Amino acid sequence: QKLKELTEKRKEDLERVLKSFGVAAQVVNISIGPAVTRFEVQPEAGVKVSKIANLADDIALNLASGGVRIEAPIFGKTVVGIEVPNPTVTPVKLGEIARTQDFLENPSKLFIGIGKDIAGASIFGDLSKMPHLLIAWTTGSGKSVAINSLIISILLRARPDEVKFIMIDPKMVELATYSDIPHLMAPVVTDPRKAAVTLKDWVIKEMERRYKEFFNFGVRNIQSFNKKAESLLEQKKKDPDIFAPEPLPYIVVIIDELADLMMVAAAEVETTICRIAQMARATGIHLVVATQRPSVDVITGLIKANIPSRISFAVATQIDSRVILDMSGAEKLLGRGDMLYSPIGSMKPIRVQGSFVSDEEIERIVDFIKEQASPEYSEEILNLKYVSSDKQLQGQNQANQRDELFAEAARIIIESGQASTSHLQRRMRIGYNRAARLMDEMTEAGIVSVPEGDNKPRKILKTLNDLIEMGIIDVGSKPEYPQF
């Protein structure tokens, strides 16, 4: 009742403010949502829409309310939307959305409850149609709740043989709750280098393997393959000689912080994500990529072009909003689950109050699922080879203690094919003691072998590519010393 009275007062104040600025318009409809109220304003003939759009700060001042957002015009209508925050936010519970007929009757295993729009209508998404999702936010704006709602929505609908997850969580806390659930293909990946290798050396290979399976069975996508597999399994009951493949599960790859992966290997991660995004939809592999840094060096043009469905929570600046949504507006959001949701094919994003699931509810659901089955991890993922971040850091610490000429000395040894102290003295014009120390450091780093006896040269154990991978030299760096 209080909200209705406040809304009526705000309507009168809004019309008065518009009139005071010379804008002839009236409020024709009001939608009260969980977090904001939208006033639909009909301007009279001859009134420029831009004139209303430029009054956001003045309207906020006169209504004593921050975070006023103006949608001019509302897509598909002849009115301007003025969105004003409610005094309190009404939480949108995932359980409430999950009990709706739309959620219960949808056959898709990747159907998710996103939240409620300004009119209070439930908003859903189907990850199989998105087919990938990009999420951006700043601290405290509600991203964690959104990812939890997405995961729980799928866990409520799909058995472990129907949907599998690969979870990448460099912060080691966001997705730890889901450790050991039977839907996981591998333990939650916390090392950014292992994450990069998993994407490149397993996800892409699995995608290619599935395409070969589709070719062999004459189908075009995972839905057709699984229908055919189920049909052959039925036939196999009558005729055991018939070959029937097992239906393939959908695979959802969740990357909780893209920026951490881009810091490790930006070019490689960008190329890998783009290839998966371009080709993986038909194979049932879907990406959910989240980042707290919606900048152009993290969300590159290529990544953005290949992930058309996006969610933006409150961000710091208009520039950040444009990076994620290609338009401003996210900087005006309120936080605490307030989002702009732009599904594939939409002309303008929808303002949604994200669905909420509490830690206690997550824990109860996860514990129940764990009791039903144990995880069956992929041996291929477990056996992937990579240089861990700890080892890389250790190598960096050792590098800080090495001679400043170490990298150049290693390059000279490999390029010349001569691993000797005297050769370093001549090429680098340094004394015997320093050259000998450099040789000892290269032996310790595994670049050259230990001396094998009098008059026997050391063996060179690494290539230039190895030095690049070890972070000792950069690609394209040139020797500082002349050739003799």
Same domain for 349 and 281?
yes
CATH number, residue 417: 1.10.10.10
Are 140 and 19 found together in one domain?
no
List of residues 6+ apart from 46 with CB closer than 8 A: none
Taking only the tens place, the pLDDT of each residue in 38-76 is 999 999 888 888 889 888 888 888 888 878 889 888 888
Residue 176 and residue 247 share a domain: yes
Q: Are residues 339 and 442 in the same domain?
A: no
The Cα–Cα gap between 464 and 475 comes to 9
Rounding to the nearest 10 degrees, give the CA dihedral for residues 41, 46, 49, 55.
-80
d(C-alpha 371, C-alpha 182), whole Å: 9
pLDDT, residue 343, reads 93
Question: Which pLDDT score, from 0 to 100, does residue 392 have?
Answer: 47
Q: Which helix (H) or strand (E) holds 293?
A: none
Tell whether the torsion through CA atoms of 443, 446, 451 and 455 is positive or negative.
Answer: negative
Taken in order 335, 337, 338, 340, is the CA torsion positive or negative? positive
pLDDT at residue 67, rounded to an integer: 80
- Neighbouring residues of 16: CB distance < 8 A, sequence distance ≥ 6: 62
Question: Do 319 and 227 have their domain in common?
Answer: yes
Please state the φ and ψ torsions of residue 186, each to the nearest 5 degrees.
-160, 160
Same domain, yes or no: 73 and 128: no
Do 99 and 205 fall within a single domain?
yes
- What pLDDT score does 73 carry? 85
Report, in angstroms and rounded to the nearest whole number, the Rg of the chain calculated over CA atoms.
Answer: 29
Whether residue 482 is contained in a domain is answered as no
End-of-domain residue from the set 344, 369, 386: 386
pLDDT at 446: 84
**pLDDT for the residue 168:** 94
Pick out the chain residues at pLDDT < 50.
389-397, 478-484
Confidence at residue 345, expressed as pLDDT on a 0 to 100 scale: 86
The string of DSSP letters for 415-428 reads: HHT---HHHHHHHH
Does 112 lie in the same domain as 43? no
Domain identity same for 132 and 184: yes
Q: What is the rounded CA–CA span in Å between residue 244 and residue 271?
A: 35
Residue 381 sits in a domain of what CATH number?
3.40.50.300
Instruction: Supply φ then ψ for residue 113, to 5 degrees.
Output: -90, 115
* Distance, CA of 27 to CA of 472 (rounded, Å): 66
Summarised one tens digit per residue, pLDDT across range 321-358 is 999 998 888 888 888 889 999 999 888 899 999 999 99
Domain final residue, candidates 386, 421, 450: 386
Instruction: Tell me the residue type at 87.
Output: P
Q: Are residues 188 and 298 in the same domain?
A: yes
Q: Which residues pair with 253 in a beta bridge?
A: 166, 287
| 349 in a structural domain | yes
Count helices and strands in the chain by DSSP H and E runs: 19, 14
pLDDT at 484: 36
pLDDT at 277: 94
Q: Residue 25 is which amino acid?
A: A
Domain range enclosing 443: 391-469
Q: Quick one: residue 218, left, alpha or beta (phi over 0 = left, psi -120 to 50 = alpha)?
A: left
Rounded to whole angstroms, what are the CA distances from 51 to 15, 48, 62, 73, 395?
14, 5, 17, 12, 60
Asked if residue 480 belongs to a domain, the reply is no
Q: Can you give the pLDDT at residue 220?
A: 94
Q: Report yes or no on 227 lying in a domain.
A: yes
Quick check: is 481 in a domain?
no
- d(CA 39, CA 314) in angstroms, rounded, equals 21
Domain count along the chain: 3
